A and B are shown apart, each in its own frame.
Chain A
Amino acid sequence: MASIRISSLTKTFRNTRRALDDVSLEFASGEMVALIGASGSGKSTLLRHISGLLVADGASEDCCIEVDGRPIQRGGRLVRDVRRLRASIGFVFQQFNLVGRLSVITNVLVGAAHRMPLWRTLLCRFTAEEKKLALDALTRVGIGEIAWQRASTLSGGQQQRAAIARALVQRARLILADEPIASLDPESSRRVMNTLAEINRRDGTTVIVSLHQVEIALVYCPRVIALKDGRVMYDGPAATLSSERLREIYGSDLDTMLAPENITTASPPAVPVLAPINLNAGVFAGNSA
């Protein structure tokens, strides 16, 4: 439900390496898009700019990032009400970025903080409705039963689903997921990707997910954007992104972007979205009820 427009975004880190080089992209609302590329290709940097966690180089005045028609940064400066815009953007990190010593539900309730008066947030006075919302979100991602545990006691996959629940409680209309499965085992990876796909399909939430592994991108995302050295090398349907084209873009780097079990088959399956979800049909059992 949120559209994004990025125009001529350039980012240089410490005047040495160009992390993003004149990137212009548009995303329609309700899309599920994969950003692929080797490490250091600028995927994370791009996502962090969209939520205003990084600012672009100041030199280019026409550089602008808009979410739903409202600019979040322009000409290397964040807009004044960046916090209100961030509240509508859920961000899922590779390292989950939960507060380990807080309970899972408190971590998730932080997503509601932007709708609460400040004194109530600072005293942790969450209302029953807010707690219900958080519990529902946790149940939806399949970890409702561990809501009162400390976040640090959870497995990686559970922590990542808690982070997604936080974005749900935020009522985010756009979810940016930065390598959400890079630190997870294959089974947890599938669950997390299924959760993101389900949110995209059911709520119409725009999801942009950066991925290291090409096959997963091709399976879950109808549109794929390939980055290399901070430039967009491919932007189009997953179906037309052949292994030859990938080999052309990434050369020998491609080997590091293929999961080990698929290296033997050489060509990744260019199946359109959501084919393998039955691998894990139990995950969403809570939703139909």
Chain B
Amino acid sequence: MAAHSAAATAVSALAPPRSWRWFAGWGLACALLAWSWQGADIRPLDLFRESGNMAEFSRDFFPPNFRDWRLYAEEMVITIHIAVWGTVLAIICAIPFGLLSAENIAPWWIHQPVRRLMDASRAINEMVFAMLFVVAVGLGPFAGVLALWVHTTGVLAKLFAEAVEAIDPQPVEGIRATGANVLEEICFGVIPQVMPLWISYALYRFESNVRSATVVGMVGAGGIGVVLWDVIRSFQYAETCAIMIMVIITVSVLDLASARIRKTCI
């Protein structure tokens, strides 16, 4: 036993002593958490104090009221339509933008500006774009499509570019050595290599666009969100619950389906 602890001491003596950076790092992390606690107005005690109110509030949700289920289903289908077109248009734009923002395809004076443009369209949330497009093209699903399109293009272009930057350069060189031009190099050397990843990213973004499409409706951009916002504002919680259940089912089914498709593609 004594020998064992002596060995442990010897080992810990060998390890380098903790530097001031270690303490500074943890101190900084703790300070950040404390500061954010204040800013975010976190009141955990309220969860207990108001528990009676909350129980009563959640009782209003049950049983869910599916009386208008036809309307909900119709709007849910429109929500999916918004997601489909928002994603498809984004994929079409993300292919050239993604290639142009890849370091190994485009020179810096092209990929840097394109990347900044994509950063900008990614930085603004779909909801903000939806509000702007509602003003531009009027209330309705088209505003939602435009909002998803712009935001998703930014996201997919970045993901596509990262896939392109990770390719094996040797097959591309093999294509180049046959006298192919840049477009042929991309078409035969780059695209086949990134295809599985691109499909997987695009499907993932479709899933998350279905989720986003349910909320862009809240600012008037069409789909189930419009109905959801109406019933919440008029305190019809049983209807709200019914809509939420339908959203959960739809999103889960699409997630499962796209996971299945992804598996067959790779």
Interface-located stretch among A30-38, A89-97, A130-138, A220-228: A89-97
Assess the B188–A114 pair: CB atoms within 8 A.
no
Assess the A102–B184 pair: CB atoms within 8 A.
no
Chain B residues with CB below 8 A from A166, complex form: 174, 178
**Count of chain B residues with a beta carbon within 8 Å of a chain A beta carbon:** 20
Assess the B188–A99 pair: CB atoms within 8 A.
yes
The complex places the Cα of A185 from the Cα of B177 at a distance, in Å, of 25
Assess the A114–B171 pair: CB atoms within 8 A.
no
Candidate in B176, B177, B178 with the most chain A CB atoms within 10 angstroms = B177
Interface-located stretch among B20-28, B189-197, B219-227: B189-197
Residue ID in chain B nearest A178 by CB atoms: B177
Q: Cβ of B74 < 8 Å from any Cβ of A? A: no
Q: Cβ of A113 < 8 Å from any Cβ of B? A: yes
Given A121-B187, A122-B183, A111 and B178 contact (CB-CB distance below 8 Å): yes
Assess the A99–B179 pair: CB atoms within 8 A.
no
Q: Which one of A85, A101, A110 lies within 8 Å of B175 (CB-CB)?
A: A110
Assess the A114–B174 pair: CB atoms within 8 A.
no
Chain A residues with CB below 8 A from B192, complex form: 99, 101-102
Assess the A86–B171 pair: CB atoms within 8 A.
no
User: What DSSP secondary structure best describes chain B's contact surface?
Assistant: helix
Assess the B193–A99 pair: CB atoms within 8 A.
yes
Q: Cβ of A53 < 8 Å from any Cβ of B? A: yes
Chain B residues with CB below 8 A from A95, complex form: 170
Q: Cβ of B230 < 8 Å from any Cβ of A? A: no
Assess the B174–A93 pair: CB atoms within 8 A.
yes
Contact string, B164-178, partner A, CB cutoff 8 A, digits 1/0? 000000110111111
The complex places the Cα of A102 from the Cα of B191 at a distance, in Å, of 10
Chain B residues with CB below 8 A from A85, complex form: 179
Q: Which one of B170, B179, B195 lies within 8 Å of A87 (CB-CB)?
A: B179
The complex places the Cα of A98 from the Cα of B184 at a distance, in Å, of 14
Candidate in A87, A91, A97, A111 with the most chain B CB atoms within 10 angstroms = A97
Assess the B178–A101 pair: CB atoms within 8 A.
no
Chain A residues with CB below 8 A from B195, complex form: 101
6 intermolecular pairs with C-beta atoms under 8 Å apart: A87-B179, A89-B179, A96-B174, A118-B181, A121-B184, A121-B187
